[in-house]
Amino acid sequence: MSFKFRLQRILELREQHEQAKARELAAAQAAADEAQRAKDAISALRADSQAQLHSTTRAAPRIGHLHQLGTVLASLDERLIVADDVVKHADAGVHQAKSLLEEAARDRRVLDRLRERHAEAWRSDEAQKDRVRMDEVALTQFARKLETKDAPTGNSAEGTNPRDGTAR
């Protein structure tokens, strides 16, 4: 007979739940990485626009061109603020997903430890049963050996000597 853990189905469900939380964490991390890349791209574009503004001011700038660059920089600043908020929100999602994954892993580990304790108790019980069976077999064999030894001496109780067949 093999070991059967009564809560195996629950353990399997907890493992599936933990795997789902791991997938959610991976998705949240991917979203956070994508948000960070978008923010970095906007930041790089703003830095390029800022550099272009500085290079334009050294040459003979036109007012319309400077005004246009200023508007672009202001727009990029607003987009950068929004992108920063998106990154913060995505990071919060990653943090929450990590917490949920840790909780799911803890719940699964509790059942894993319980299953191991039950398995160890079952193994110990089976070993004890095996020892009892082996003891019974040994006692049976011992009793048979005694019976075979006692069978000739059973005649001596009747008054005959088993060696020479004479009476006592």
Are 28 and 94 in contact, with CB atoms under 8 Å apart?
yes
* Residues paired with 160 in a beta bridge: 167
- Give the contacts of 108 (CB within 8 A, at least 6 positions apart): 11, 14, 15, 17, 18
pLDDT of residue 87: 96
| Per-residue pLDDT tens digits for 31-90 | 999 999 999 999 999 999 888 877 777 776 677 877 888 898 899 999 999 999 999 999
Taking every pair of Cα atoms in the chain, the longest distance, rounded to a whole number of angstroms, is 146
Distances from the Cα of 15 to the Cα of 59, 94, 107, angstroms: 66, 20, 9
Residue 159 has pLDDT above 60, yes or no: no
What pLDDT sits at residue 62?
A: 77
Is residue 26's pLDDT more than 70? yes
* pLDDT single digits (tens) 120-144: 999 999 999 999 999 999 999 999 9
Q: Is the dihedral of CA 21, 24, 29, 35 positive or negative?
A: negative
Task: Give the integer Cα–Cα distance in Å for 50 and 46.
Answer: 6
Instruction: Using DSSP, state whether 1 is helix, strand or coil.
Output: coil
Q: Is the dihedral of CA 101, 107, 109, 111 positive or negative?
A: negative
Percent over 70 (pLDDT), the chain? 89
Model confidence, pTM: 0.68
Name the pLDDT band for 164 (thresholds 50, 70, 90): low
